[in-house]
Every structure is written in C-alpha cells, then in structure tokens.
Structure 1
Amino acid sequence: MNDSFAFSNTCKRRTAISGFTLLELMITLAIVALLTVIAMPSYRSYVLRSHRSDAYAALTQDQAILERCYAQNYSYSQTCAALPVFPQTSAQNFYTVVLTQSATSYLLTATPSGSQLADTACASLSIDQTNSKTALDSQGVASASCWGQ
C-alpha cells in the first residue's frame, strides 16, 4: 500500500515550467519603450553637438590658411594658392563654410547642411581675423553655448 501511495504522489507532482509569461514580456517591452522614449532625444542632441567639431575643424583650418596668406601678401583679399574654393564643404559634409573677405578682414561662417540642419541651437558658427567667435541659433539670436562644446 505504501508503494501505491508513493506512485500516486509522483503522478500528481507538477514539474516547474521555465520561461516567461506573456505578462512578463509585455512589462519588459513597456519598460524598454519608455527608456527609448526618454533616451532618444538626449542621444540625438549629443550626436548633433558632436558633429559641431566638423565645423570647428573646417573653420580653424581655413583660418590658418588665411593667416598664412596674409603673412605672405599683407592682405586677405589677395588670391592664395593654398586657399580653398568657397563655399566649401566640411570634411564630414555636415557644414558649408563661406568666406567674406576684404584687404584687412575676413569672416568665415559655417552653416549646417544635411542631417546637421536639425541643430537649431547652433545654426551658424563664425570666426574672424581677430579670432572673435560668434554663433547664432536658427532664429538669429546669439548663442553663447556653441563654441565651448
């Protein structure tokens, strides 16, 4: 009789089922979706700020060429063989650089192009012969935060 009792207990025992329930999966997906909604704008902002280095590099390189030409010709308006053709596209194609020059001054301005057009906080970055750096947002208002990032 003991044997039949042991046999009936083993038949009634439930084996543990491993895996996820539908509810657990739905909760996990909801958490992932919430984190994505929160993180994506921050990530996009970071990417736009990191692409500004393309403008800094293009402006600095062109500024060095202009200063070299000025040292040789005592004028910014003289043509110099090393001077690139303007408007110029930055190395990674995120900015277009334009040169406005006279005999004694110049202004290099980088404006976003392509995917960088979404950067409305720094829509224009400029530098002149005195190394004065200015930045404007998409509304034309001066933005002090663009040149330090």
Structure 2
Amino acid sequence: MKRFPRTRARGAGHGKVPACSAGFTLLELMIVVAIIAILAAVAVPSYTKHIVKTKRVAAQACLSEHANYMERYYTTNLRYNEDTSTPAVPNPLSGATPAMTLDCALRTSADYQYRLTAVALKPSTYSLTATPIGAQAARDTTCGTLSLDQAGTRAPATAGCW
C-alpha cells in the first residue's frame, strides 16, 4: 500500500497542502542576512579603495596632459610663463582662474575629483598640482595633492601614488 504525506485542508476552494509546508524559517533567513552583511563589509571598502585609486590615476593622466601642453607652449614661445607677443600675454593655464581649461579637467569629465592648477610659472620652470576635492580629499589621505614639474619630478614620492 502506497502512503501519502499528511495533508491539511485549507479554506474553501483551495486544494490540500502538505502538513510540512515548504518555506524558510526565521533562523535560515537570519543566516542569509548575516552572510550578506559579511560580504558587504568586505566588498564596500575594497570597492571604495578602487574608486579612489581610479580617480587618482585620472588626475595623474590629466597632469601629464597639462605637462604636454606646457612643453608645446615652451616650444612655441621659449618660455613657460607668457607668450612672446607685445605686450606679452600670460600662459592661458596660469592664474587662479585660467583662461583655458584642458578637456581632462572639465567638471563634466567622469565625476572629476581634483582641482588642477599651474603654479610658479617662470620662464624656464613650472609646477602643476592636482589637489583632491570633495570625497576624494577625505578618502585619499595617503597621497593627497599630486604635483609634476618641468623636469618630470613627481610628488609625493610615496609608493603607489604614482
């Protein structure tokens, strides 16, 4: 004789459901939630660290693009700080509010988190800086402000910053 699992009757119009109905217990749900919390605790800091590094690399690339512009400017004018016209016009990348902004430094480019400035422009030297702003400033405490000069000297010299 074939045995069937026990069933209990449900409300009118419904079929019979096995007595041991399928479902999750509260303990099983809590274990799943705990596993997800542990995975999130590991994944979120790792993801944040990756985002900080990605934005720093973008700033390094932009500093290199600015350095390339400065070298082209020097090739044309034989100086970094101003052109050779009369009266001399300052380099468009210099000053607190530069007259020209390179594409890599536009605010619309990929959630940019650095302020780029050309400081200490002299006839034969320059220094470019990328200062972190917003969340990047709070998260990137290891490297902070990046700089590059006419000799290719990069700062900070901390491992992993360049």
- Determine if the TM-score, normalized by the shorter chain, exceeds 0.5: yes
Q: Calculate the aligned-residue CA RMSD, in Å.
A: 2.5
Matched AA of 1:31: I
Unaligned runs of 5+ residues in structure 1 are 1-5, 136-141
Partner of 2:159: 144
Q: TM-score under structure 2 normalisation?
A: 0.71
Equivalent position SS for 1:144: coil
* Contact 2:94/2:118 (<8 A) preserved: no
Q: TM-score under structure 1 normalisation?
A: 0.77
What's the % identity of the aligned pairs?
36
Partner of 2:150: 129
Equivalent position SS for 2:51: helix
Structure with a larger share of its residues in helix: 1
Equivalent position SS for 2:151: coil
Segments ≥4 residues shifted beyond 3 Å:
79-89
Q: How does 1:57-136 map to 2 (within 5 A)?
A: 57-79=61-83, 83-84=92-93, 86-87=95-96, 90-91=105-106, 92=109, 93-100=112-119, 101-117=121-137, 118-135=139-156
Check 1:126–1:47 CA distance in 2 against 1; reply closer, same or farther (3 A cut): same
Pairwise CA distance, 1:82:
7.6
Check 1:45–1:86 CA distance in 2 against 1; reply closer, same or farther (3 A cut): farther
* Contact 1:112/1:123 (<8 A) preserved: yes
Partner of 1:38: 42
Pairwise CA distance, 1:115:
1.9
- Count residues in correspondence: 134
Q: Aligned equivalents of 1:78 and 1:18: distance in 2? A: 79
Unaligned runs of 5+ residues in structure 2 are 8-17, 84-88
